[in-house]
Amino acid sequence: MASPEKKPLSAVTLVIDLALTAGAFAIFYWLVNSHVPSRDPAMIKLWGGLAAGCMAGVFWLAWQMLKVVFIFQRDSRK
Q: Using 50, 70 and 90 to split pLDDT, how confident is the model at 78?
A: confident
CA distances from 43 to 31, 49, 74, 78 (A): 16, 10, 46, 53
The pTM assigned to this predicted structure is 0.83
Q: What is the mean pLDDT of the chain?
A: 92
pLDDT at 4 over 70: no
What amino acid occupies position 48?
G
